[in-house]
Amino acid sequence: MKYYNLKDKNEKVSFKEATIKGQGNDKGLFFPEFIPLFDKDFIANLGQFSDDEIAFRCMKDFVGDEIPEYNLRTIVSETINFEIPLKKINENIDVLELFHGPTLAFKDIGARFMSRCLSYFLKNEKRKVTVLVATSGDTGGAVANGFYKIPNVEVVILYPKNRVSKVQEQQLTALGENITSLEVSGSFDDCQDLVKMAFADENINTERLLTSANSINVARWLPQQIYYLLALKQWQQNHSEKPVISVPSGNFGNICAGILSYFRGLPVEHFVAGCNENDVVPHYLKTQKFEIKKTVATLSNAMDVGNPSNFVRILELFQHQFKDMQDAISGYAIDDEKTLRTISDVHQKFNYILEPHGAVAYAALKKFMHENPGNKGLILETAHPVKFPEAVEKATKCKVHLPATLNDLMKKDKKSVEIQPDFEELKRFLLTH
């Protein structure tokens, strides 16, 4: 499998090169040169396969022979070696819980897969690699955990000051060792822009071997398909109809992975992009006008993105056919007031606690189902409620208890370096540390 640059289709690279480089010339994202289809019998009989086998079959065509089968099977097994359950909220809506990994967020899956692929590719590399990543909350923690103490890898994480929760910040800043956190006085979009500029800077790339662990990296983006397959495996046990899948959407890597699975043969009725007040894509799906906006800070902070990078991959999947995209995806913007009300209502009626991102997906799915009666669906709960205690406790009037696995982490000192959203300041840091 080769990967081409969406901004320069003459640039084609291997999976290894795409994983290490992160992005291509002119800050372009890499995209697979063809979409490998799932075997129809495999999809129809997912219940007969182990989760490890499903994960391996999902990823093998994208990796090809660049990682031997034995090693790839080990990588995918370690990627999903925790529970990923589909649970019932009510008669019409299920929830896929993606927060049972080490950092209590869905990003654990992509980060674990990528860290292990990168470790395999770098085993004979003499130079250190710098993983440079921007985060709106959960990506940084998952990347820090996934790469913690991995030889020859240094991680530099940029996150927006005062825009992540206390648990998220501890996961970003408390590990130390080969993990460095830069606290940016700005928004996630500022962080993301700084990272993209660093990748395009000749001086930095001469001094450091850079790669990205954001969902712009194919090794972070592609393995997110796995949990859509695991969701369907469990869905098929109780449902005969195809599900509508509602995904909390910020940078659009998560839903893009689901749509890629759909193009490969995953039976999905429709996708719903649940967004907060950062509504660039819902606006586009209604008007065909993609208008970058200044980021608005919300309760669902991982989705506070005014210029979603991965949307270009969705456009590529649909070959820029707007009507086809409209037929497959609906987008809804949910404000903070509605988010809190949704958390409260679901808790009162069904005794289930949503966190803000899952609540946005739930509210968006309810809107779609009201407009399109007769459907059943599932939402993705992308983080543990403990990551957003203020919002959850305000809505439910219940105390959110810290999982025992986080006790030690929360006692550690925060270690971060504050910088302005200024590229020259980031450049000086990267060239002198």
Q: What is the pLDDT of residues 232-270, one digit of tens each?
A: 999 999 999 999 999 999 999 999 999 999 999 999 999
179, with CB counted inside 10 A (0-12, 13-18, 19+), is buried
Catalytically active residues, by annotation? 107
Residue 14: strand, helix, or coil: strand
Q: What is the pLDDT of residues 283-327, one digit of tens each?
A: 999 999 999 988 898 999 889 899 998 999 999 999 999 999 999
The span from the CA of 29 to the CA of 199, in Å, is: 12
- pLDDT of 243 reads 98
Whole-number Cα distances in Å, 355 to 86, 210, 310, 382:
16, 34, 23, 8
Cβ neighbors of 252 (< 8 A, separation 6 or more) are 273, 281, 308, 309, 310, 311, 313, 314
- pLDDT of 23 reads 86
The span from the CA of 2 to the CA of 300, in Å, is: 36
The span from the CA of 250 to the CA of 273, in Å, is: 9
% of the chain with per-residue pLDDT over 90: 74
Cβ neighbors of 172 (< 8 A, separation 6 or more) are 135, 140, 141, 144, 157, 159, 164, 181, 416
CATH of 71-105+221-396, one of 3.40.50.1100, 3.30.9.10, 3.40.50.2300, 3.30.470.20: 3.40.50.1100
DSSP string, 29-51: PEEESS-PPPPHHHHHTGGGS-H
pTM: 0.89
73 in Cβ contact with 52 (< 8 Å):
yes
Q: What is the pLDDT of residues 45-91, one digit of tens each?
A: 999 999 999 999 999 999 999 999 999 999 999 999 999 999 999 99
276 in Cβ contact with 246 (< 8 Å):
no
- pLDDT of 402 reads 80
Tell me the pLDDT band of 406, cut-offs 50, 70 and 90.
confident
- pLDDT of 279 reads 95
Q: What is the pLDDT of residues 172-220, one digit of tens each?
A: 898 888 999 999 999 988 998 999 899 889 999 888 888 877 778 999 9
